[in-house]
Amino acid sequence: MAAASQRSPTPRLQRRDSQGRPPQDGYGVYTYPNSFFRYEGEWRGGKTHGHGKLLFKDGSYYEGEFVDGEIMGEGCRLWVSSGNTYSGQFVLGEPQGHGTMKYKDGGRYEGEFSRGLREGHGCLVDQDGQVYQGSFHNNRRHGRGQMAFQNGDKYDGDWVRDQRQGHGVLWCADGSTYEGQWHSDVFSGLGSIVHCSGVGYRGMWINGHPVAQATRTVILGPEVMDVAHSSSFTLRVELQQDNGEVAESEDGRVLKISAGVRYVQLPAYSEVSFFKVDEGSQELPIQTPFGFECIAYPLSSPTSGGPELSATPESASTDSPLPQGDLEVTMVSNVLCDQEDTPGRLSAGGGMPRCPEDCRRVERGRAQFTDVCLGPPPPGYHPIPFLDSKHEKASSRPRGSLGPGRMTPTVRDPPAGSRPDGAAKAEPVTAAFPGEYVIIIRDVTNPPFLGRVLPTAFKHLRVSLKGMGQQPHIPGEDPQASN
């Protein structure tokens, strides 16, 4: 019997003895006393050593290399609680070195680990497909790195604790580019942006907002501009900050000029009272800040065939000459309309898009419109003049008071013997009639710079037959007395 027992083969699978000791050498299966761990694999000297698989009671497991009873070397680990899996290098049971972590939500990280955390250089793809490649610290993006976002934006720069912080460059999917300082994932500090609309800003930023940005458009000059009949004029425009300073950090906004005529004019300001508009040509009145409404009126240029006008900065003197050219006849009826027909986006070559002739691009917060001229009344606009009656007493009504109908005007034929009802043919009118007009400058930058459109600017314009700086005759007043 003893000889027979010595000739029987030794089984490869060793089991713990009656005293509960694990296998010593070779291949064996061992369930630990706490019943939470179960090991299948190679042993040496009573310790897990070589290749094996450690199973956990909750279904998690590790399969790979063991050294002297420790998880050490190449292996694969599944965590049932999180659903994450890792394959790569291990040190003392934790991912350390180079490896790949696949996350349950669909994300994936490949790179360096330390004590189970992302540490060093690696590439992280999140569940939305966003890709970060760069430095990590304590499981977070930290240091230098590049990221491609889901919306098409790309960033290359510094990171601190998963946020863009330090210096970096952002290329937006819409073509905008920002380069400068960041803090807490937003523009903060000194930086510059070239917006997809062509607008540029260079200066300080706080919490994602430019410090010296323009907040309003201002047309320079007196409160009421007096212009001689048939004369052209120049308008200088500034983009100003809240404190009244010129927003010289801004370039490239597109400003559009248009005009309107007072819907009901008063004899106290002009010999022309109002325009009668045909029903088919009726324009919606536009409210102005001057206490009256206006309707669309065309602008034209006194010259033709000239070069296109362009915005020019007033760097040295506001009187510096600018290139001159034509203003196409333009109606103000689209003042309150959308901006889908306005220029804005950069061309494929990266150059500035061409502006229509009734638009200017701002440079260093300034723009200028030269050779602006009011055109003749458009078809459907019939001027109705008021005559001065020597028997009327104008002193009973203060100058500038509203209220059509308070005086009974006498209507006479307009110049050239024309009546508004078309009873007689009028000679062609080549210029605007004397009266009250409004110049309108609006921000048509498309798309709006940082999502904001500047408020529309207005300038009260008074056209007089007597020349600039002279008041039109007021019915009931002695012309000599006014002098």
Q: What is the pLDDT of residue 34?
A: 84
Average pLDDT, stretch 356-376?
91
Average pLDDT, stretch 299-304?
57
* 39 vs 29: CA distance, rounded Å: 6
Over the chain, what is the mean pLDDT? 77
Is 457 exposed, middle or buried, given 0-12, 13-18 or 19+ CB atoms closer than 10 A? buried
Burial 288-314, CB ≥16 within 10 A → b, else e: beeebebbbbbbbbeeeeeeebbbbbb
Beta carbons within 10 angstroms of residue 196's beta carbon: 17
The string of pLDDT tens digits covering residues 170-197 is: 999 999 999 999 999 999 999 999 999 9
Q: What is the pLDDT of residue 379?
A: 79
Measured CA to CA in angstroms, residue 72 lies from 69, 75, 122, 281, 308 at distances of 9, 8, 22, 87, 75
The string of pLDDT tens digits covering residues 317-356 is: 333 333 333 333 333 333 333 333 433 343 333 455 556 7
Is 273 exposed, middle or buried, given 0-12, 13-18 or 19+ CB atoms closer than 10 A? buried
Closest CA to 315 of 248, 374, 407, 376: 248
- In angstroms and rounded to an integer, the radius of gyration of the C-alpha atoms of the chain is 40
Measured CA to CA in angstroms, residue 136 lies from 99, 123, 124, 159, 174 at distances of 14, 9, 10, 9, 29
Is 446 exposed, middle or buried, given 0-12, 13-18 or 19+ CB atoms closer than 10 A? buried
Secondary structure letter of residue 471 according to DSSP: P
Average pLDDT, stretch 291-303?
79
Is 2 exposed, middle or buried, given 0-12, 13-18 or 19+ CB atoms closer than 10 A? exposed
pTM comes to 0.69
The string of pLDDT tens digits covering residues 41-64 is: 999 999 999 999 999 999 999 999
Which residues does 44 contact at the CB level (< 8 Å), separation at least 6? 25, 50, 68
Residue 381 pLDDT level (bands cut at 50, 70, 90): confident
* 134 vs 111: CA distance, rounded Å: 10
* 212 vs 250: CA distance, rounded Å: 8
* 362 vs 457: CA distance, rounded Å: 15
Q: What is the largest CA-CA distance in the chain?
A: 153
Q: What is the pLDDT of residue 279?
A: 63
Closest CA to 357 of 333, 387, 325, 380: 325
The string of pLDDT tens digits covering residues 218-234 is: 999 999 999 998 889 99
Q: What is the pLDDT of residue 331?
A: 34
